[in-house]
Amino acid sequence: MSVSREQVERYTKYRLERLIGMTQPSAQSGVLARLRRGVGHHPGSQPWLWGELLSEMPQEMMNNSGEPSNAEMAVYTALTLFALHQQSKDIKSECMHCEGTTLGAACGSLVADENDRDRVARRFNAMATSANLSELSNHLRGIVQLLRAKDIGLDYSALAGELYVYSFKARRNDIRLKWGQDFYREIYNNIDKNKEDENNE
């Protein structure tokens, strides 16, 4: 990988902070709406998003061939999914970019009790075994909608870094395992906490 995961995460965090920190609500809403329209589409088909994606992006992260680089695709996917996640929520009081909440942990938070585990795990496993970044982004769209409905945030700069690494077949299983570890750790923590709460009632 000529570009590091940390570079992808830093640039994504920079774009997110600029978006979240915008002081004109109408302009901010416009950017979020344009980003949402980009979910699931090729970056080349979305010229109105090129500024949000490419402006100030380090040149080593950009491709020269007309096809998006792995880094460009990771940033694009993370930013557009964030906009989908943020839909109908106030970005100041309910920001869905939540630093430190990994994809696996966020998905684990969808499991409210043991009855939920198999249902959520099936969707999670289908996502984690995606053959490529395009298939993965399609699964992520559905998962982000579930997270939005439950008001569960996600670290989108970390997600961009994970998507970047996932785009390299040789490193894919490393990311999958991390997702699985975080997913089941969160499930067990939630179930133990719920049982403890029930015992204290």
Widest pairwise Cα distance in the chain: 62
Give one DSSP letter per residue of 78-117, joined into a string: HHHHHHHHHTTS-TTTS-SB-TT--HHHHHHTT--SHHHH
3-24: average pLDDT: 96
Distance CA 130, CA 155 (A): 20
Per-residue confidence band for 77, with pLDDT thresholds at 50, 70 and 90: very high
- Share of residues in the chain with pLDDT > 70 (%): 94
Mean pLDDT for 31-44 is 92
Cα(124)–Cα(120) distance, integer angstroms: 6
pLDDT in tens, 115-136: 788 899 999 999 999 999 889 9
Chain centroid to CA 148: how far? 12
Across the range 9-14, mean pLDDT stands at: 97
Confidence category of residue 171, pLDDT binned at 50, 70, 90: very high
Average pLDDT on 16-43 reads 94
Average pLDDT for 60-72:
91
- Give 193's pLDDT tier (boundaries 50, 70, 90): low
172-188 average pLDDT score:
95
Tell me if the pTM is above 0.85: yes
What pLDDT does residue 114 have? 75
**CA nearest neighbour of 75 among 175, 162, 177:** 162
